[in-house]
Amino acid sequence: MSNQSYSVAVVGLGSMGMGAALSCINAGLETYGIDLNQAALEKLKAAGAKAVATNGDEFAEKLDAVVILVVNAAQTNAVLFGENGLANKLKPGTVVMASSTMAADDAKAISQKLTDLGLIMLDAPVSGGAAKAAQGEMTVMASGSQEAFSKLQPVLDAVAGKVYNIGEEIGLGATVKIIHQLLAGVHIAAGAEAMALAAKAGIPLNLMYDVVTNAAGNSWMFENRMKHVVDGDYTPLSMVDIFVKDLGLVNDTAKSLRFPLHLASTAYSMFTEASNAGYGKEDDSAVIKIFSGIELPKKGEN
């Protein structure tokens, strides 16, 4: 099938969804966008989307694939099965790429409902941040049938740098993503703790940042997120509240397996404390604001 005749809708045009949708347009796929945010819709339309809307009524039956990049399982369920749900309007055999971070059981339940409607699901969480999404270089950790993978091939080619096939069973992709989020959340929390200690000790944070990013203690998350702290810019690319949710899922998974997670539990408490203090809608690097008695850089100071 040529890309021109392959139609995909991306639902949820946040930092990851927008990048994925633009990558689909760049790959020559017939791309539709669904979001409640009018500015996001207009941006995608201007970039060459076939059509954009707050719901899929107008074009649902034309689609070969749907990519859902909303925040969580509840939003994914609302998109598919809510009062104006997409699932009932899709033609049988349409493949749904569910890319939100969610519990394995939620992924299984959504898959079952889709199967009952004659639709196919790929349990396909993504990672890589806004920049990788914009370049069509996301990492996809997916599980599902061979049919789901092959039907989504044009989309995966467009949006992903790496696609990991975790297995046939729905829920495996979700679990790999949750384990990945354990690391991501702990790395941000650890980075914040280190930079807070530097601030307390009177070490300039831009210097500390430079040392770490050229030494063995660096991590992708430290390099990416602690730059926001150095710049005093907490404009959210991914919010504190996302890690309250994701580390909550990590701990729920651990609970269901009766498995102790010392660092993930502490990181979860730190993000929850930050959210409780009013920083929930700021960039997740704002977890550093839970430390008292330190001066942090203000925007425009450096």
Segments making up each domain of the chain, as ranges: 3-169, 175-290
Annotation: CATH topology of 175-290: N-(1-d-carboxylethyl)-l-norvaline Dehydrogenase; domain 2 (1.10.1040)
Alpha carbon separation from 4 to 10, 18, 73, 134, 160 (Å, rounded): 16, 20, 31, 21, 19
pLDDT of amino acid 301: 75
Domain 3-169, classified CATH 3.40.50.720, yes or no = yes
- Is 246 in contact with 178 (CB distance < 8 Å)? yes
Q: What is the pLDDT of residues 197-248, one digit of tens each?
A: 999 999 999 999 999 999 999 999 999 999 999 999 999 989 999 999 999 9
Q: How many CB atoms lie within 10 A of CB 81?
A: 15
d(CA 156, CA 51) in angstroms, rounded, equals 21
Q: Which positions are catalytic? A: 177
Whether 175-290 and 3-169 are alike in CATH topology: the answer is: no
Q: List, in order, residues 6 or more apart from 99 with CB less than 8 Å away.
A: 16, 20, 67, 68, 69, 124, 125, 126, 140
pLDDT at residue 237 in the model: 86
Residues of the chain with pLDDT under 50: none
